[in-house]
Amino acid sequence: AQSVAQPEDQVNVAEGNPLTVKCTYSVSGNPYLFWYVQYPNRGLQFLLKYITGDNLVKGSYGFEAEFNKSQTSFHLKKPSALVSDSALYFCAVSYGGATNKLIFGTGTLLAVQP
Amino acid sequence: DAGVTQSPTHLIKTRGQQVTLRCSPKSGHDTVSWYQQALGQGPQFIFQYYEEEERQRGNFPDRFSGHQFPNYSSELNVNALLLGDSALYLCASSLAVELAVDNEQFFGPGTRLTVL
């Protein structure tokens, strides 16, 4: 079965420090991988995606993610965290195409302390 | 360019009632997907509509049904509401053409449904 795991319910980081939000996936075939961010009482905002090509993907707001096929991971990273990055982050996978149904992880709450 | 819009923003219903939620896709998009996000959970796929037909369906009972109109907008209907149907319902739109490199699903702000 296709699945996504976000092993950390919450990640705490000090402002200015690098951050990593972890994601691993299980899917047959070639995955399409996504990161979305959700602010309180808001919908999901697209951050970045991996479809094919370079394993390091750069996205919005200075975020990037690295696709690692051997470890089936797609961790979200940012070199220097901002307080405004505090939000709920979701990793998602789609198989068979970018517009097919997305399977989401349970989310990781990122808390950036000033 | 308006993004994905949903109405209403909030809704309160009682058990056994029926509810209809509405979604207008991002301009130029022809595919609409619906997701249910329970409190503290990630969104779960309900179904997807393209060319006015249901194309894919997640693991949701038949109480959940939908419709897509010729202008690509969509409705989600839930019959015989249960307490467990309380959730944020998200609509996402995309282009059916898979070849578009920049294609991804854009989400609306959601409708918060509370069932009492």
Q: Looking at the complex, report in whole angstroms how far the Cα of residue B25 sits from the nearest Cα belonging to chain A.
A: 14
Tokens of B8: 């209403």
Q: What is the pLDDT of residue B18?
A: 98
* Confidence at residue B38, expressed as pLDDT on a 0 to 100 scale: 95
Residues of A in contact with B96 (CB under 8 A): 99
CB contact under 8 A, A98 and B4: no
Beta bridge partners of A11: A110
Binary contact (B108, A43; C-beta < 8 A): yes
pLDDT exceeding 70 applies to what percent of chain B?
Answer: 94
Average pLDDT in the A52-80 region?
Answer: 94
The answer to whether residue B23 scores a pLDDT higher than 90 is yes
The stretch A56-85 carries a mean pLDDT of 95
Q: Of B19 and B29, which is predicted with more confidence?
A: B19
| Average pLDDT of chain A to the nearest whole number | 91
